[in-house]
Structure 1
Amino acid sequence: MKWHHVQENWSAFYEAILDRWPAAEEAELDEIDGDQRAFILYLSELSGQEVEETRAEIREWLSGELPSDVVMDPRHDNRSIALSQKYVPDGEDEYDDDSRFGDDGN
């Protein structure tokens, strides 16, 4: 993922941030509001690490998957559907109507 994913969906990342950095506090995350520099400085102070070490740790964290709260965002639906292609048998289109699988039309 890229930082803009984090910044655009800041509050959806709280759980993932708190999983990775349990000492972080939601009130502080509210104040940071997706500002990457502020987040780096906050984590650096929180952990007692050098800023570069914290930056590297965040880069490693960014190499992971998007949290499900973000993936479920309608802006990501088409990408999620396209990624599901690997689970659809050959000859079928992942964008086809799925009514024969119990879709109730809602």
Structure 2
Amino acid sequence: MRWSHVQENWSAFYEAIQEKWEDADESMLDEIDGDQRAFIRYIAEITEQDPQEAREEIKEWLAGEIPSDVVMDPSHDNHSIALSGKYVGEGEDEFADDARFGDDDDYPDDGDR
């Protein structure tokens, strides 16, 4: 993952950050607000490393996968739906109910199929 992923979804990464760095405090993460330099300084401080060592540790952490709880964060839903709009035909609404496609048995048959 790239820092931009972390920065754009900063609060969604709190759990993953605290899992990696147990001494990370949520209120301090709020103050950092996705600022990479501030995060490096903070990790250096709580791990008692010099900033270069902290930067390398963060770089290794970034080499991993985006945590699933970040990917599944509800804030991504509408963004993903909007991106899928390029596959929806002209005049159709990508946010519309898809019951007419026949894949949801909870809706009564309206005769359009």
Alignment partner, residue 19 of structure 1: 19
Alignment partner, residue 53 of structure 1: 53
Q: How far off its partner does 1:32 sit? A: 0.2
Structure with a larger share of its residues in helix: 1
Between stretches 65-74 and 21-30, larger displacement belongs to 65-74
Alignment pair present for 1:4 and 2:7: no
User: 1:104 and 1:5, CA in 2 relative to 1: closer, same or farther beyond 3 A?
Assistant: farther
User: 1:71 and 1:44, CA in 2 relative to 1: closer, same or farther beyond 3 A?
Assistant: same
Q: How far off its partner does 1:66 sit? A: 0.9
Q: What is the root-mean-square deviation in Å for CA atoms of aligned residues?
A: 2.4
TM-score (norm 1): 0.71
1: CA distance, partners of 2:29 / 2:8: 14
2: CA distance, partners of 1:2 / 1:53: 18
Q: Percent sequence identity over matched residues? A: 59
Give the unaligned 5+ runs of structure 1: 79-96
User: 1:67 and 1:50, CA in 2 relative to 1: closer, same or farther beyond 3 A?
Assistant: same
> Would you say how many aligned residue pairs link Structure 1 and Structure 2?
86
2: CA distance, partners of 1:105 / 1:4: 40
TM-score (norm 2): 0.66
Q: Which has the higher Rg, Structure 1 or Structure 2?
A: 2
Higher RCO structure (Cα 8 Å, ≥6 apart): 1
Q: How far off its partner does 1:69 sit? A: 3.0
User: 1:70 and 1:41, CA in 2 relative to 1: closer, same or farther beyond 3 A?
Assistant: same
